[in-house]
Chain A
């Protein structure tokens, strides 16, 4: 039944080739440069830590380069076709090139820091699109770009070994690079039009990653992804055009005072933006593409999809929420100003959407047996956290810095641990060709390192103190508490659901680990191979980052996230009081986590006892069969029926139509006589 396809690697026993040497070197250099980068951000020495003389001037020159964002975006976009060409000659060379280009891009992203930390970096190319292409890198963009840089580097190292089981590898790497360019372009964009351009590039190129397998399911999932992506893109375009037509600007500037005069139209614009980005972010009820697309995509692509692509949706929502619908800093005096009304209403809706998204996501995740599908539903659930954070940022307006930081922080953290989890599952799949967790077991003996990093990722996602998830979840928890303290008391329920969802996450991952890594190993997997060097390297890199952030949660917060709030309309006093030097490991939060773990274990015990993980949900519960499928079928059926019944009839009645139109027009015109 499980026929193992002969792969390129298994024929040759040589496992440590020049690709591996290249990877290890790149990994080490990347690690060293990251350390240097961290050191330079702490000391504020603008990266002049190494080198002297001509090297230093070169570095200094690069660090001051204005078109750096353009370079960062163009590098993968040009590199992609090049890689595909190289791949025709040699696969190893291509994969090394892929890793190298990703690495160079990563370094270039880090090199933006000195300029970004001194102030927003602007670069404008006039002429394109008639409006000009504008790039604007502030700390928020920088965080997103750096996260995608790290993730992409690890995924390309990982992909080399994994892609052996897939075909059309050249095409995969081509579109992966283009997607990278699209993601970077979206986060570095300085106005809505530029953002939309790269957002669409990203949609189309990532479609090629989703449908890569070309199997029936992947084509279907891909179609789902593509059409929803296009619909989202169109809704975004509509929003952009309305905004531009009514306010005359596409830049990310506070527009609340202008929007206040627009009446109901401002809510239309708001809704369109939320809808457009919500599709990509996997927001309920627009999430249906996500649990389909993630399992069928090749694992590196799933890791990227879950790690970065859906975050770009969240980023867009965050960017729009904190720039367009808020008043400028000089227009308001306090939290209760009337200009906040759009932002507040928007925020309340987003909070509840986020809360529902996280609850449904985790509930559906508990019901899955396919590991990748389960991770996909967890992505939805975790996106719920992020969306909720965005909602709080928007709802509390002037005091929303907590929600803002929480969602940004969670974007970074979720990228790391979810990508790592997908990589773990990918390695298990590579060796066993099995995605059903109930059919696996005892894998820790075969893959001890994988089991180890899996534990780290699980501790991260469930929010164990000392791992990265804890930091962002605590901030988000504080945020939702603030929402009902400063705002409406009904958010108390939101906080309750938040806790329950965290517990459900714990339960779900206990389940995953137990069925995959613990227990007895099934007979047919007794002789499978174990670890794979380069894949372990990539997973280890991410695990290291998870631990590092978890140990020093204040570093990320103080060095990047708080500077990111500076350009935005947030109360500086509030930030100083609550966020700067925030004490993460206080007794209340840590104990809270303990409770969550206990509830999670409780759910797990109850669930296995009463068989709650295999519920057959009613058909109407599935939003897809209830709503989207009939709609799609309706459009196609309508067109086909019309064509079948009326096309020939219309063509044959040509003269009658002519007569009717002519008399009709003349009749209508004659009333003016």
Chain B
């Protein structure tokens, strides 16, 4: 193999670096100053660079399995470094960097100042969990990262020290623990019959198991899917999401909605296609179950969003609907479907974090959360509202934005599967999106507020506006040139099927 040994270790270094960063930040500084900011951003940029080089390496040389400490797959932890895991890690890191640059200014005014360094420590751990869960090839290791994610997410929600945050994070914690435990139970059942925790090893033995111990396998599958369903907020299990995402500090909401729920979708995909395998899940009809849940979620998420008055809660319910799109793609279990789902993971990540960040900027500047008070806000904060409009139009699916391309790909995936009825549901859901996003934009730009509408120059800080502009331009660029993302995604998919 031509690869230099050191570059093979980069994924592990990324994780270790993030872990180190999260320990160093609260130790070095008590106050949140320039030094701490440098450490945070330095850690992230360095990890991003390493992940990028790994990604390029994988593109050139092909995927490889990396055993930590050279322990064998029977007992050791294995990372699966392929196009899928590296590209998605790269996506996670890129979006996290942008959100964190935004948060440097915003967080000061959301949480108690002594806890800012603790907050970043938690965020770095959260990113560690996400990257870890994406690259790992080990079921128990997945569980460990899931627990890290659950605890850190809970912490970055409750850090705001308000009553509703405590309530929301408590509910989050309880339900996520249930989810993790279900998952763990499933892992144990699988381990019981296969003797392996390594995904690839289980996959080799799964056909035998299916013939000998179908009950074990089915129970495991049911438990694990329900557990992941809770964590990924699939419709009837989404109950923790609206409270958690809407009460959390804005950067946390953006990370949670844009990224954290997505990594559970990755896990679900790995579980379905890399552990169990397409033949078995097709015989027990799992894909069609998933699509039913997805379709109901697409409609019901939007229906609940229409009734909301709080901007962040509305965005949270919109996430429930969008997760439905992704699961629809996954549930089709075809190459087109999975790539459309992954494409939507990326585009929804960018759009939703853009929306959360711009909503956060509005709250930062004016303190308004109720969408009925947004009259004329487009004149007070033109840039922010324009960026919000970009995100919202993307969600509706206007051509020229990445949301449209998601629908386009997903639509063809659905048609290829011979299910035009789902296409109608997709478009109906787009229309429902329009019903709740457009009034916000209209009242922001076309109605008079209390003061006269005079266009003022934007005065949110540069560190908040620049990341948003970058995210928005990414949305527009991938809206016109989807193949930037699609080429990578469609090369990642064949490893699943």
Interface residues of A (CB under 8 A from B): 127-130, 193, 196-197, 200-201, 204, 211, 214, 219, 222-223, 226-227, 230-231, 234-235, 237-238, 241-242, 244-245, 635-636, 638-640, 642-644, 647, 650-651, 653-655, 657-658, 660-662, 665-666, 668-670, 672-673
- Can you list 20 A-B pairs with a CB-CB distance of less than 8 A? A129-B480, A130-B405, A193-B399, A201-B399, A214-B448, A223-B442, A235-B427, A238-B424, A638-B303, A642-B303, A642-B304, A642-B307, A651-B240, A666-B218, A666-B222, A666-B223, A669-B219, A669-B221, A669-B222, A672-B283
Known: A219-B447, A237-B411. 18 other contacts (CB 8 A): A200-B398, A219-B446, A223-B438, A238-B427, A241-B411, A241-B412, A635-B435, A643-B307, A647-B307, A650-B236, A651-B240, A651-B243, A654-B171, A657-B239, A658-B175, A662-B226, A666-B223, A672-B285
Interface residues of B (CB under 8 A from A): 171, 174-175, 178, 182, 214-215, 218-219, 221-223, 225-226, 229-230, 236-237, 239-240, 242-243, 283-285, 289, 303-304, 306-308, 393, 396, 398-400, 405, 407-408, 411-412, 415-416, 420, 423-424, 427, 430-432, 434-435, 438, 442, 446-448, 480-483, 486
Task: Please report the C-alpha to C-alpha distance between residue A638 and residue B299 in the assembled complex, in whole angstroms.
Answer: 12
Question: Could you tell me if A222 and B446 are in contact, using CB atoms closer than 8 angstroms?
Answer: yes
CA distance A525 to B420 in the complex (A): 61
| B420 A242 Cβ-Cβ under 8 A | yes
Instruction: Give the CA-CA distance A242 to B223 in the complex, in Å.
Output: 38
Verify B420–A643 contact, CB threshold 8 A: no
Q: How far is the CB of B427 from chain A (nearest CB, A)?
A: 5
Q: Is the CB of B420 within 8 A of A650?
A: no
Which 5 pairs from chain A and chain B are nearest by CB? A643-B307, A639-B306, A245-B415, A666-B222, A197-B399
Contact in complex: B431, A234 (CB < 8 Å): yes
A673, B448: Cβ atoms closer than 8 Å? no
Cβ distance A515 to chain B, nearest Cβ, rounded Å = 33
Whether the Cβ atoms of A241 and B446 lie closer than 8 Å is: no
B242 contacts across to A, CB distance below 8 A: 647, 651
Which residues from chain A contact B434 at a C-beta distance below 8 Å? 227, 230
B271 to chain A, nearest CB (A): 14
Known contacts being A128-B480, A657-B236, is A672 close to B284, with CB within 8 Å?
yes
Nearest A residue to B227 via CB reads A662
Instruction: Name B178's contact: one of A242, A658, A670 (CB within 8 Å).
Output: A658
A657 to B398, CA, bound (A): 35
Report the minimum CB–CB distance from A183 to chain B (whole Å).
16
For A658, list chain B residues within 8 Å (CB): 175, 178, 226, 230, 237
A residues in contact with B435, CB < 8 Å: 227, 635-636
**A669 contacts which chain B residues (CB < 8 A)?**
218-219, 221-222, 284
Residues of chain B within 8 A (CB-CB) of A654 are 171, 174-175, 239-240
Q: Is the CB of A244 within 8 A of B412?
A: yes
Residue in B222, B240, B423, B438 whose CB lies within 8 Å of A662: B222
Q: In the assembly, what is the distance between CA of A642 and CA of B400, in Å? A: 34
Which residue of the partner chain B has the closest CB to A201? B400
Cα-based distance from A524 to B230 in the complex (angstroms): 71
Q: Which residues of A contact B396 (CB under 8 A)?
A: 230
Do B289 and A129 touch (CB < 8 A)?
no
- Check A672–B304 contact: CB distance below 8 A: no
- Establish whether residues A662 and B306, one from each chain, have CB atoms under 8 Å apart when the complex forms: no
When C-beta atoms are compared, the residue in chain A nearest to B396 turns out to be A230
Which of B171, B174, B442 interacts with A222 by CB under 8 Å?
B442
Asked if A639 and B481 sit within 8 Å, CB to CB, the answer is no
Let me know if B237 and A661 touch, CB within 8 A: yes
Contact assessment for A242 and B289 in the assembled complex, using a CB-CB cutoff below 8 Å: no
- A129-B405, A241-B423, A647-B307 known; A661 vs B412 contact (CB < 8 Å): no
The answer for the CA separation of A638 and B432 in the assembled complex, in Å, is 12
Q: Once the chains bind, are B218 and A670 in contact (CB under 8 Å)? A: yes
CB contact between B226 and one of A226, A638, A665, A673 (< 8 Å): that residue? A665
- With both beta carbons as reference points, the residue of chain A lying nearest to B240 in the complex is identified as A654
Complex CA gap A458/B278 in Å reads 70
How long is the Cα–Cα vector from A642 to B304 in the complex, in angstroms? Answer: 7
